[in-house]
Amino acid sequence: GQNIDQPTEMTATEGAIVQINCTYQTSGFNGLFWYQQHAGEAPTFLSYNVLDGLEEKGRFSSFLSRSKGYSYLLLKELQMKDSASYLCAVRDQDYKLSFGAGTTVTVRA
Span near another protein by CB under 8 A; candidates 15-23, 58-66, 72-80, 93-101: 93-101
Residue 100 in contact with another protein, rule: CB under 8 A? yes
Size of interface with another protein, in residues (CB under 8 A): 22
List, as one string, the DSSP characters of the chain: --EEE--SEEEEETT--EEEEEEEE-SS---EEEEEE-TTS--EEEEEE-SSEEEEETTEEEEEETTTTEEEEEE-S--GGG-EEEEEEEE-TTS-EEE---EEEEEE-
Q: C-beta of 20: minimal distance to another protein in Å?
A: 14
Query: Per-residue x/- mask for another protein, residues 15 to 54, rule CB under 8 A?
Result: ------------------x-x----xxxxxx--x------
Query: Per-residue x/- mask for another protein, residues 53 to 92, rule CB under 8 A?
Result: ----------------------------------x-x-x-
CA–CA dist 31, 84 (Å, integer): 23
